[in-house]
Amino acid sequence: MTYVEVPGAKVPIRMWTDPTSVEDAAMQQLRNVATLPWIKGLAVMPDVHYGKGATVGSVIAMQGAVCPAAVGVDIGCGMSAVKTSLTANDLPGDLSRLRSKIEQAIPVGRGMHDEAVDPTRLHGFSTAPWEDFWGRFEGVADAVKFREGRARKQMGTLGSGNHFAEVNVCDSGSVWLMLHSGSRNIGKELADHHIGVAQSLPHNQNLVDRDLAVFISDTPQMAAYRNDLYWAQEYARYNRTLMMNLFKDVIRREFKKAKVSFAPEISAHHNYVSEERYDGMDLLVTRKGAIRAGSGEYGIIPGSMGTGSYIVKGLGNAASFNSASHGAGRKMSRNAAKKRFSTRDLEEQTRGVECRKDSGVVDEIPGAYKPIEQVIEQQRDLVEVVAKLKQVVCVKG
């Protein structure tokens, strides 16, 4: 870890990467965050890069305040992974059919289910809190009330960008299923609504960056935001749970003879807010592109669509607010990647992976991301590696 002192800052910046390797725009965002009056700590993960207001790959601890832009607009975005009883030897040589079946079961991009998924028809899905969850939709911001029908149909869908569904093989030969997705468009609309509200408040008018507008505790605006935030985080969790169940059903059908069984699911948000206590203070900790890595807690740190991922266990490092990186992190923007790389480059860098290799996903090429091995090495005091996975099928929107 490296400490970076910022003139006029309330706290030093704790960095798990070389400060000189961070792009200038992202470094300025970190300096801006460190000057906020309410901040009590700032930890920067090795996958850090430029974002809206606050960098992706940062953990911000505040007392009595929370910054919506420090959560990210895809509230509750995160990962889920499940180890199966299958091994690499059970997989067919041609994985195109399996990829096609996954794409048929889980809508991608802007797609949605024709009808909302009925959770009572899914294996082992607990439906007890389901109606209560949707009942609380009546209490979210009026700005999204008319979106309920679409939000129900998008539950159990992947989205686009860096979201994915994968079949992986770990270093011991076991087959894993993995998902990356969030709260879909309903979470983004809630985030955008509340960022707009925060920016209009008097105490945010003189901030160095208007995107760092905060809500203050014990105000109606904070209460409204936290209500909608926690609902959206729950939506994201349910979204991944439904998708994983649909994913498992595909595997059961495609490998009937193997009578596949599944280990308990590992799931972790990496765009969210948590109430935690450090140094005798009750803090609101926002993780934007970071996972919680408390002692013994399992997490998932994915690489790009051609480089594999890691299952990790947290070491409970309080200096990072019990956090670790959420992935490899981009080293160039999507536009820059499209200009630099071609579909031929994509084909070469995803050789051996059954996935899209067209111009629509060139911006997700492995070369646009930091090396995942380096990112893992930089946080050896935050997590220990449990398993290394390599994708053989990758579905993207």
d(CA 290, CA 159): 20
Q: Is 182 annotated as a binding residue?
A: no
Q: Is 224 annotated as a binding residue?
A: no
Q: Is 113 annotated as a binding residue?
A: no
> Is residue 326 annotated as a catalytic residue, yes or no?
yes
Q: Is 163 annotated as a binding residue?
A: yes
Q: Is 329 annotated as a binding residue?
A: yes
- Of 193, 194, 269, 326, catalytic: 326
Q: Is 194 annotated as a binding residue?
A: no
Q: Is 193 annotated as a binding residue?
A: no
- Burial class of residue 109 (count of CB atoms within 10 Å of its CB; 0-12, 13-18, 19+): middle
Q: Is 305 annotated as a binding residue?
A: yes
Q: What are 222's strand-pairing partners?
A: none
Q: Is 254 annotated as a binding residue?
A: no
Q: Is 162 annotated as a binding residue?
A: yes
Residues annotated as part of the active site = 326
Annotated binding site: 74, 162-166, 180, 270-271, 302-305, 309, 326-329, 396
Annotated binding site for GMP: 162-166, 270-271, 302-305, 309, 326-329, 396
